[in-house]
Structure 1
Amino acid sequence: MNWTRDFGLTMRMILTSLLLLIVYLIFLGVLAALGFPFESLLLVAALMAFLQYYFSDKLVLWSTKTRIVEEDEYPELHRMVESLAARAGLPKPKIGIMVSPVPNAFATGRSPKNAVVAVTDSIMRTLNREELEAVLAHEISHVKNRDMLTLTMASFISMLAFLIMRNWIFISLFNNRDNNMGALILVYVVSIVVWLVSTLLTRALSRYREFAADRGSAVLTGNPQALISALTKISGRMDYIPAEKKQEVEGANAFFIIPALSGNTLMELFSTHPPLEKRVAALQELGAQMRGY
């Protein structure tokens, strides 16, 4: 199979952006109707969005203590990434190593030109060559689909609502001259609703992009079974990782190929990843299509 653009992902990215824009306009309309001085919050949120856009990859690498490695350090890893990037029609991304007992991988970067594909040292000991190549192809697919940028920008409205939720007491004091506590409580309630809706929308998009990246991996390698095996191994290994070690990397779960959950069960609606069983079933169906069945 040749690489084809995932119109499902494209349409979901467009639809998510439009729905978030509508939510954003409604949110601003409510604030304006209440006479809320939100200009400073908009400025702060815009600055945060700007920093997130330009420095999100560096923040992810810093927070996960991922080190960019050169070709002479990990020549085989570099060769695999370079080959996969060439098949995908992309420039070779930088390659990072994250020291962690949690076997995992992730991709970050706002564009293919500054993308980074990273793996933990433990995943290279857990997977065989074909499985590792399938995982790397999954991450390359995220770069090809440019879904990281969409999620980063889509999180703007959620970030603004969360900012109001976190600082509503300070905002109440700032607006005390109006003695309009009822309006401020309404703003807080609306902020919660906006945060909830925007979070659900971005998480739904995040789950679909994992399906799209799985499909991209199968296309790039021609071996969906290798990714099934890799996902199963990584997921199974998670049960033997100490909870404190998984807690150390939970902040990067949205980027990982398999989330490292420390024990708190998440509702499926709020999950950043689809269930493993659904991913395996989709890959098996794709494998049957590739074999002509």
Structure 2
Amino acid sequence: MQAFGLYTHIRANRIRSGFLIAGLFLLVYVMVFAGALIVEAFAYDEPPLGVMLARAFNDLVASFPWATIAALVWLFIAYQFNRGLIALATGAHAVTRQEEPKLYQLLENLCISRGLTMPRLYIMESPVLNAFASGMNEKQYTVTVTRGLMEALDDQELEAVLAHELTHIRNGDVRLMVVAVVIAGVISFFGELLFRGLTRMSFGSARPRMPRSSSNGDRKGGGGAAFAAILIALALIALSWLLSQVIRFALSRSREYLADAGAVELTKNPDAMISALLKIEGRGELPSAPSAVMEMCIDNPRSGFTDLFATHPSIASRVDRLVRFGGGRMPELPPAPPAGPADGGTDANSEPQAGPWGTAVPDNASQQPAPGQTSSQSQGSIPRGPWGPLFPPGGGR
């Protein structure tokens, strides 16, 4: 994307992200409503379905403050301890300028160029190629890189990766991702509790009461309504969990393109970002890291079975955007090895080498006369191009 439109994209993305986070909070209350509906389904007065839905909504209104407080407490815990928890889960350790002078200086120069507070620098002693940023405020912001990334990338490529992670911090992405992961975790945790509670109630003493016959032979709408209420609650739980995961992935995907563009803006070197991404592709799997950490990495190979469940856009699409909008170029492929002997000549006794599109033609094939034709007849003064004579013999220009 063009530099003049970068901040417009960032601002629009923040607005969309705010709506997505609000949607995550809304899903928390949907889960509370589902739980209240399950409780009402196991009530002993056997009300009709409409009554159960109304009671569940009243329960939601009554528990709204408590559900909000619970979610905020969970966020506060993540706010205070997220850096330590991530370091514990990944095995990363902090390094100083004296321990890693080159890496520290690259990150420090980027921060100075934009007037940013220097985040803490962490290293994972792992041969894989990956990096991520984390933290909720300036005192907690960290940039973590793997040892394998430091060894595989040159200075310009490593600077581009650091600029990518620094852009995530500058755009507020890391704070938003922590909030999204925590809220989605609340939904998953609460959904598991409801499923466990429902299983215990189904096989325990408290079961949905079957409809009882009244004195005039009519049946009250209890058993069937209770079963329908439980089905509705289960559907809401499953839908809430699914939407929470989709929102998490959408937040992560939308930010990687902007972080790539921000890295180009910081380093003025799109080619370094492209080559770094190509080196990282397929080599960033951190087996011991939880999925929440992998979502914050520069590349996450743990993609789902469809694009809907992919946390990151593909490397190919990110490189394509850097080429089309960032002024980058695809790196040139290394030259193919010669088909002949080691000295580069052609062995007359050797068979033609097979290429990807058929049998390769020797370099001097254009100089061999055809059967019944002398060398001068075949060559003459006819100019030749890479695919044969530019003008046919005897033909006019």
Please state if 1:274 is matched with 2:313: yes
Secondary structure at 1:163 match in 2: helix
Distance between the aligned counterparts of 1:55 and 1:10, measured in 2? Answer: 25
- Closer, same or farther: CA 171–50 of 1 in aligned 2, 3 Å: farther
Partner of 2:170: 144
Task: Give the alignment partner of residue 10 of structure 1, picking from 14, 25, 28.
Answer: 14
Partner of 2:126: 100
Mean alpha-carbon deviation: is it higher for 111-120 or for 158-167? 158-167
What are the Cα deviations for residues 56-101 of structure 1, in whole angstroms up to 9, with x where unaligned? Answer: 2221111110000011000111111111112233100110110111
Task: Give the alignment partner of residue 129 of structure 1, picking from 151, 155, 167.
Answer: 155
Please state if 1:52 is matched with 2:39: no
Mean alpha-carbon deviation: is it higher for 14-23 or for 84-93? 14-23
Partner of 1:242: none
Task: Give the alignment partner of residue 249 of structure 1, picking from 266, 272, 289.
Answer: 289
What are the Cα deviations for residues 223-262 of structure 1, in whole angstroms up to 9, with x where unaligned? Answer: 1111110000111545xxxxxx74223532112101144x
Task: Give the alignment partner of residue 229 of structure 1, picking from 267, 271, 275.
Answer: 275
1:22-61 to 2 correspondences below 5 Å: 22-32=26-36, 33-34=55-56, 35=59, 45-61=71-87
Mean alpha-carbon deviation: is it higher for 12-21 or for 105-114? 12-21
- Closer, same or farther: CA 177–43 of 1 in aligned 2, 3 Å: farther
What are the Cα deviations for residues 25-54 of structure 1, in whole angstroms up to 9, with x where unaligned? Answer: 444445454358978876655433321222
Distance between the aligned counterparts of 1:42 and 1:212, measured in 2? Answer: 32
- Closer, same or farther: CA 86–113 of 1 in aligned 2, 3 Å: farther
State the one-letter code of the partner of 1:254.
E
Distance between the aligned counterparts of 1:120 and 1:73, measured in 2? Answer: 15
2:124 and 2:145 in contact (8 A); partners too: yes
Distance between the aligned counterparts of 1:75 and 1:266, measured in 2? Answer: 41
- Closer, same or farther: CA 285–11 of 1 in aligned 2, 3 Å: farther
State the one-letter code of the partner of 2:127.
P
Partner of 2:24: 20
Partner of 1:207: 253
Mean alpha-carbon deviation: is it higher for 227-236 or for 3-12? 3-12
What are the Cα deviations for residues 145-178 of structure 1, in whole angstroms up to 9, with x where unaligned? Answer: 1112122223454323311332235423479786
State the one-letter code of the partner of 2:186.
L
2:28 and 2:186 in contact (8 A); partners too: no
Distance between the aligned counterparts of 2:70 and 2:326, measured in 1? Answer: 48
State the one-letter code of the partner of 1:16.
L
Alignment gaps of 5+ in structure 1: 239-244
Distance between the aligned counterparts of 1:29 and 1:72, measured in 2? Answer: 55
Identity %: 30
Shift of 1:123: 0.5
Secondary structure at 1:288 match in 2: coil
> TM-score, normalised to structure 1's length?
0.84
State the one-letter code of the partner of 1:92.
M
> TM-score, normalised to structure 2's length?
0.63
- Closer, same or farther: CA 193–205 of 1 in aligned 2, 3 Å: same
1:105-120 to 2 correspondences below 5 Å: 105-120=131-146
Please state if 1:284 is matched with 2:323: yes
Q: Which has the higher helix share?
A: 1
Aligned Cα RMSD in Å? 3.0
Secondary structure at 2:139 match in 1: helix
1:101 and 1:122 in contact (8 A); partners too: yes
- Closer, same or farther: CA 27–265 of 1 in aligned 2, 3 Å: closer
Task: Give the alignment partner of residue 186 of structure 1, picking from 213, 216, 232.
Answer: 232
1:164 and 1:188 in contact (8 A); partners too: no
Alignment gaps of 5+ in structure 2: 37-54, 209-225, 329-397
